[in-house]
Amino acid sequence: MNVIEINNLTKNYGKERGIIDVSFNVEEKEIFGFIGPNGAGKSTTLRTLLALIYPTSGSAKIFGKDCIKYGPEIKKEIGYLPSEVFYYDKMKVIDLLKYSASFYKKDCSKRISELADAMDLNLNKKIDDLSFGNKKKVGIVQGLLHEPKLIILDEPTSGLDPLMQQKFFELLQEENKKGATILFSSHILGEVQRMCNRVAIIKEGRIIQLEKISALQENNYKKIRVQTTVKLDENYFNIDGVSNLVVSQNMISFLFKGNINTIMKKISEIEIINVWVEEPDLEEIFLHFYEKGA
Amino acid sequence: MFLHELKAYRKSTITWTLTLVGLIILFLSMFPAISQEAEAFKKLMEGFPEEIRLALGLSVENIGSILGFYSYVFLYISLFGAIQAMILGVSILSKEVREKTADFLLTKPVTRTQIVTSKLLAAFTSLLITNVFYLGAATMMASLVETKEYSTKVLLLLSLTLFFLQLFFLAMGILISLAVPKIKSVLSISLGTVFAFFIIGALVSTTGDEALRYLTPFKYFDFAYIMQNSSYESSFMMVAIAFIVIAITASYLIYSKRDIHAV
């Protein structure tokens, strides 16, 4: 079953582009990643799903119901975390969370304390006094306290330290196991790869790729540099999948695409001093998809 | 949501209520002094050019009676009241955008209509509270300072115009806050609008042209007419009600169609 169905969704801001012809589905119990550089239209898409903005054309359905027409009804089962969290500054954290819970007509107090414990959040502070990261935590608790069936997160990890990110992803995975569907946007490929089953890539308002994460990994480039003890034959690494090969003295660098085991075996057969395996950054990946699309 | 909103306005409601109550106590406690010196005061007034007297809302004959005096000072009370209502109107919806909390509220399972209704009711209640206290203070002070007989009904009618005026400016404030895309300062817009209408009101007084009175809500309630007839002028009342209804309906429509942008 599809929890989210987006059909040819288009949104213009006056003359400016928002998103163009965006279509994709998110299945039940899936963790779906939505990645793209800043300004590509991630937030626009998510905000349309939440009926914060109205589409210029096209439509989207959540739980099989139109997200604009049945907005208030379907939002009962949605938890949302905006990319930047702003709350009523003068309120205490606990008051804000209680206020938030009051919209859902069920008792969430137990859940609030559980989540606050897990995220190590002080409930008695004023929101005004919190750091950005702590505000984000309030946002996370606020988004999860009513045990939503669908969790929508807009760049959830920005501002959280790595330890908290880890904790947060564990929380999400727990929710996912309990049956929640998760859609989250990000511009960090690593976290999407770690978390998601499938991913949609958006660039300049259009979806340019929709893939299973496993497929994305197969297509993934690695940036590899090897420092050897002795000067190697220039063509030692000249195998299938290697490009941009540069050999200078005993430093070799290249881009590799394909099964990572092949190249690791190749490296293990020679005497090396050091090796660097790096993720190419998102721009490089996009470049790659862009070339493929053209 | 209604309670949350009401709480948010608690401080401003208390401040404004105290201000208005304080003002009326101050003004009316001046009354015994002025009524004793009424003759001298009238002479002084006659020294002013007629236009100025009209603009200030002074009518020489009445100044010695409590109602006459009251209707004079009430002009300033209503100015303050209008400012309170206008600020409230402009801020209730725009503050969600300015403080960036709109995302929070609008991703909750509520319709936009419900949001506007809760906020309107909260603002209405806040004004109601102010008026109840004001009315109490005004009637009490009047009975304390005036020794002669006077009509409590007229006093109440005069005082109630404050409430109508406030509703008018509340509606106008909401409409303006939705029509103007980005409001940087609630205070300057509110003060600007209220003073503009107030000055128009003063100018209209000097011309004495009946039709021009429709231009400004400050002139919808003619105090001399209320004192003579113990009632409001129905045509102005209709205009005021029509304006309030239209402004609020329009606000509902605009707000439910509006895009809430990310910050």
Q: Which of A50, A78, A103 sits opposite B110 (nearest CB)?
A: A103
Q: Which residues in B lie closer than 8 A to residue A88 (C-beta atoms)?
A: 8, 99, 101
Q: Does A63 touch chain B (CB under 8 A)?
A: no
> Is residue A181 scored above 90 in pLDDT?
yes
> Is residue B23 scored above 50 in pLDDT?
yes
Name the residue in chain A with its Cα closest to that of B109: A72
Counted across chains A and B, CB pairs separated by less than 8 A come out at 61
Tell me which residue has tokens 């209704």. B117
Rounded Cα distance between A237 and A241, Å, is 10
Going by C-alpha positions, the residue among B209, B208, B207, B173 that lies closest to residue B188 is B173
Q: What pLDDT, in 10s, does the model give residues A188-217?
A: 777 777 788 888 888 888 888 777 766 665
> Do the chains contact at B111 and A76, CB–CB below 8 Å?
no
- At a CB cut-off of 8 Å and minimum separation 6, what does A261 contact? none
Name the residue in chain A with its Cα closest to that of B112: A72
Bin A170: left if φ > 0, else alpha if -120 < ψ < 50, else beta: alpha
Contact B151, B230 (CB under 8 A): yes
Confidence of residue B96 (pLDDT cuts 50, 70, 90): confident
> Is residue A220 scored above 80 in pLDDT?
no
> Is residue A113 scored above 50 in pLDDT?
yes
> Do the chains contact at A47 and B262, CB–CB below 8 Å?
yes
Contacts from B205-210 at CB under 8 Å and sequence distance 24+? Answer: B205/B54, B205/B55, B205/B57, B206/B51, B206/B54, B206/B55, B208/B54
Angle at which helix B10-29 crosses helix B66-98, to 10 degrees, equals: 160
Q: Which of A43, A88, A100 sits opposite B262 (nearest CB)?
A: A43
Q: So what's the pLDDT on residue A183?
A: 92
C-alpha angle B132-B134-B135 in degrees, rounded to nearest 5:
65
pLDDT: which is higher, B184 or B76:
B76
Q: What is the pTM of this model?
A: 0.79
- Sketch the domain layout of chain A as residue ranges: 2-217, 221-278
CA distances from A61 to A29, A51, A255 (A): 16, 11, 41
Bin B174: left if φ > 0, else alpha if -120 < ψ < 50, else beta: alpha
> Do the chains contact at A71 and B111, CB–CB below 8 Å?
yes
Going by C-alpha positions, the residue among A236, A257, A255 that lies closest to residue A244 is A255
Q: So what's the pLDDT on residue A293?
A: 46
- Give the ipTM of the model, two decimals please: 0.72
Q: Does B11 touch chain A (CB under 8 A)?
A: no
Q: Which of B4, B103, B114 sits opposite A82 (nearest CB)?
A: B103
Longest dimension (CA), chain A: 71
> Do the chains contact at B260 and A53, CB–CB below 8 Å?
yes
Tell me which residue has tokens 């809500």. B217
Longest dimension (CA), chain B: 66
Name the phi and psi angles at B231, rounded to 5: -155, 170
DSSP string, A262-282: HHHHHHHTS-EEEEEEEPPPH
Q: Which residues in B lie closer than 8 A to residue A53 (C-beta atoms)?
A: 259-261
Average pLDDT, chain A: 83
Q: Which of B102, B104, B107 sits opposite A75 (nearest CB)?
A: B107
CA distances from B100 to A42, A264, B96, B262 (A): 19, 50, 6, 9
Encode burial over A39-78: b for 16+ CB neighbours within 10 A, e otherwise.
ebbbbbbbbbbbbbbebeebebbbbeeebbeebbebbebb
Q: Which residues in A lie closer than 8 A to residue B99 (C-beta atoms)?
A: 86, 88-89
Q: What pLDDT, in 10s, does the model give residues A20-56?
A: 888 889 999 999 988 887 778 888 899 898 888 898 9
Q: Which residues in A lie closer than 8 A to residue B114 (C-beta atoms)?
A: 72
Q: Does A138 touch chain B (CB under 8 A)?
A: no
The CATH T-level fold of domain A221-278 is: Alpha-Beta Plaits (3.30.70)
Range A140-151 average pLDDT? 89
Contact A154, A185 (CB under 8 A): yes
Q: Which two tokens stand for residue B40?
A: 């001298």
- Sketch the domain layout of chain B as residue ranges: 2-257
C-alpha angle B209-B212-B215 in degrees, rounded to nearest 5:
155
Q: Does B108 touch chain A (CB under 8 A)?
A: yes
Name the residue in chain A with its Cα closest to that of B113: A72
> Do the chains contact at B259 and A54, CB–CB below 8 Å?
yes
Q: What is the DSSP letter of A232?
A: P
Q: What pLDDT, in 10s, does the model give residues B131-154?
A: 999 988 888 888 887 767 777 888
Going by C-alpha positions, the residue among A34, A80, A33, A78 that lies closest to residue A195 is A33
Please state whether beta strands A16-27 and A31-35 pair in parallel, antiparallel, or not at all (unpaired): unpaired
Q: Which residues in A lie closer than 8 A to residue B1 (C-beta atoms)?
A: 102-103
**CATH of region A2-217:** 3.40.50.300
Contact A271, A229 (CB under 8 A): yes
